[in-house]
Amino acid sequence: MSKNVDVVIIGGGIWGLSTAYHLAKAETGRSILLLERKSTLADETTRQAAGQIGQLRSDPLMVNAVNYTLNLLRSFEASTGHDPHFVQTGSLHLAHSSERMKSFEHQLTHAEKFGIQAEVATSELIGRIAPEIALESIQGALFVPGDAYVNAYACANAYAKAALDLGAEIRTGALVNDILLETDSSKCVVVGDEKIYCNTIVSCAGPWSVRIASMIGLTLPMYPIRLQQARTQADPEMPEDHPVVRIPDHSAYLRPEEGGYLFGFFDRDPLAVNLLEKPASFETRDILPEVNIIDEARRVLKSTFPILERLSISQYRQGMVTCTPDARYIVGPAPNVAGVYFGTGCGAMGIAGSGSVGRWLSELVTHGKTEDDISSLDPSRFKYQEHENIAEECAAIFRDYYALKSVTYSLGEE
């Protein structure tokens, strides 16, 4: 069997689905086929994401990228009819040290420069929107009212439905076995016994991008790191406008979900996951929950959120965060392979950047360039031989996610 299309997108997570939506919306007349190996879309790393969208970034490119995603998702249901489950209740950044509070003061200047509304949070404000925070445990806090979060699974499926409405084709249960590079303008994606011929391939396979890259003889300098989260039972007293709470001095974050508290923790001993050593059938759910990591997170957070000790765990959630040695995305053309593009290396910022990544990849396919300067994200920026200890480097990026370093502490976890 064989099939011919213009563009094949590999990966039905939020980046692939955003790319399908933006390409279909561009109305170029190109036929678009998205392939997802699972029977359900967005069922791997996207489904495990916390879905937080934070505006405070040190890189102007990422400030603008998040702003685009915020504006897109805020109006998405009105413009497409599909609900991304967007909640804009702001975020609180807690300081447990004077050094952290000084960094917050620097962030206020940074926020003003980019037109981001932010303010030092008063005790009254904290007590109203997040009353379970023990005020005596913190030095202060920063409030960013424009920050938001989404249900990542619902958001990804909203992108998918909007893409389908615009004429894209999506196929699940379609594991890519191989990629054959016939000519610069002709490629073949092998799915089972079927050969799908196309002009352009866009790989948005998340952690599995290393496997897709290997099919065309490339090595991507990125590594998946285990992510552990948990959700508590419901707190009936939680305010409806409870914000996302970031606790950088404890390498943690927390937000409402299903009436309880979803919290995550950047553990001190990150586990790197080598997918090239795993079978093709390996899934996120094969990563076992580490109850001890969640117990440590609760122990660390109990002085700030005493309620976490009183509420039982309703769900353990485990996933993978794909990191790069410089903590930046990989978005751009494959080195020395015409017509192939990669979008991966989310670095725990996948949902926040999903709108812009889809737009950038669509622009690359459609115009060969992007409106924004994304040269800093180009896959060719790495010389892989310079990163022989790639797993250790990426694990360190994950472990030090909230480390005090200039103004880069607050990135907006998945």
Domain identity same for 167 and 137: no
Domain identity same for 144 and 230: yes
Non-local (6+) Cβ contacts of 102 within 8 A are: none
Q: Is residue 169 part of a domain?
A: yes
pLDDT tens-digit series, residues 24-58: 999 999 999 999 999 999 999 999 999 999 999 99
Domain identity same for 303 and 188: no
**DSSP single-letter state for residue 339:** T
> Distance (Å, rounded) from C-alpha 61 to C-alpha 332?
15
Query: Helix, strand, or coil here: 352?
Result: coil
Boundary residue ending a domain (263, 289, 321): 321
Check residue 385 and give its pLDDT. Answer: 62
CATH number at residue 211: 3.50.50.60
**Number of alpha carbons in the 13 Å side-chain half-sphere of residue 232:** 24
At residue 109, does pLDDT exceed 50?
yes
Q: Is residue 400 part of a domain?
A: no
Domain identity same for 8 and 59: yes
Are the C-beta atoms of residues 168 and 32 closer than 8 Å to each other? yes
User: Residues 95-100: contacts with CB within 8 Å, 24+ apart?
Assistant: 95/138, 95/139, 95/140, 95/141, 95/142, 95/249, 96/137, 96/138, 96/139, 96/247, 96/249, 96/250, 96/304, 97/139, 97/249, 98/139, 99/404, 100/139, 100/248, 100/249, 100/404, 100/409
Domain identity same for 131 and 51: no
Boundary residue ending a domain (267, 286, 321): 321
At residue 383, does pLDDT exceed 80?
no
At residue 253, does pLDDT exceed 50?
yes
Domain identity same for 129 and 264: yes
pLDDT tens-digit series, residues 290-334: 899 999 999 999 999 999 999 999 999 999 999 999 999 999 999
How is residue 207 written in tokens?
Answer: 């952690």
Domain identity same for 45 and 181: yes
> Distance (Å, rounded) from C-alpha 284 to C-alpha 318?
7
- Alpha helix locations (H) across 140-255? 152-165, 209-215
Domain identity same for 166 and 315: no
Boundary residue ending a domain (283, 298, 321): 321
Q: Is residue 142 part of a domain?
A: yes
Q: Does the pTM of the predicted model rise above 0.85? A: yes
Question: What DSSP string runs through 71-105?
Answer: HHHHTHHHHHS----EE---EEEEESSHHHHHHHH
Q: Is residue 410 part of a domain?
A: no
Domain identity same for 231 and 291: yes
At residue 408, does pLDDT exceed 80?
no
- Alpha helix locations (H) across 304-344? 307-310
Q: Is residue 48 part of a domain?
A: yes
At residue 410, does pLDDT exceed 60?
no
Check residue 382 and give its pLDDT. Answer: 87
Q: How many domains are there within the chain?
A: 2
Q: Which of 274, 247, 277 is nearest to 261 (CA)?
A: 247
Q: Is residue 412 part of a domain?
A: no
The domain in which residue 229 lies consists of: 88-149+224-321
Check residue 184 and give its pLDDT. Answer: 79
Are the C-beta atoms of residues 226 and 265 closer than 8 Å to each other? no
Q: What is the dihedral of CA 39, 40, 41, 47, to 10 degrees?
A: -130
Q: Is residue 59 part of a domain?
A: yes
Domain identity same for 266 and 331: no
Domain identity same for 131 and 72: no
Question: What DSSP string runs through 12-74?
Answer: -SHHHHHHHHHHHHTT----EEEE-SSSSTT-SHHHH---EE----SSHHHHHHHHHHHHHHH
At residue 364, does pLDDT exceed 70?
yes
Are the C-beta atoms of residues 139 and 101 closer than 8 Å to each other? yes
Check residue 260 and give its pLDDT. Answer: 98
Non-local (6+) Cβ contacts of 133 within 8 A are: 92, 94, 126, 127, 245, 304, 305
Check residue 411 and give its pLDDT. Answer: 42
CATH number at residue 285: 3.30.9.10
pLDDT tens-digit series, residues 147-168: 999 999 999 999 999 999 999 9
Domain identity same for 230 and 311: yes
Q: Is residue 405 part of a domain?
A: no
Are the C-beta atoms of residues 225 and 273 closer than 8 Å to each other? yes
